[in-house]
Amino acid sequence: MTGITTLAAVVNAVVYAFLGIIVFALSFVVIDRLTPYALWKEIIEDHNVALAIVVAAMSLGICVIIAAAIHG
């Protein structure tokens, strides 16, 4: 790879990473609003481990979907 091609690949990777993070954050906010309780309050203040595991699984699932959509 030449220098310009490498630079373009790095810029593309950074742009897609930021897009993925933005889409993930938006989807997390939507899911947080759809639940009947505050996710962070339940996890942090009430120490709800089961909810933390469900949110972690949901986050990983959303990330896999976003990565597949970006990768094509």
DSSP letter for each residue of 33-69 = HHSSS-HHIIIIIS--HHHHHHHHHHHHHHHHHHHHH
List b or e across 42-72, with b for residues whose CB sees 16 or more CB atoms inside 10 angstroms: bbeeeebeeeeeebeeeeeebeeebeeeeee
Nearest one of 36, 30, 35, 21 to 66, comparing CA atoms: 21
Domain coverage including residue 24: 3-71
pTM higher than the cut 0.85? no
The structural domain count of the chain equals 1
Q: What is the pLDDT of residues 40-64, one digit of tens each?
A: 889 999 999 999 999 899 899 988 9
14/23 Cα distance (integer angstroms): 14
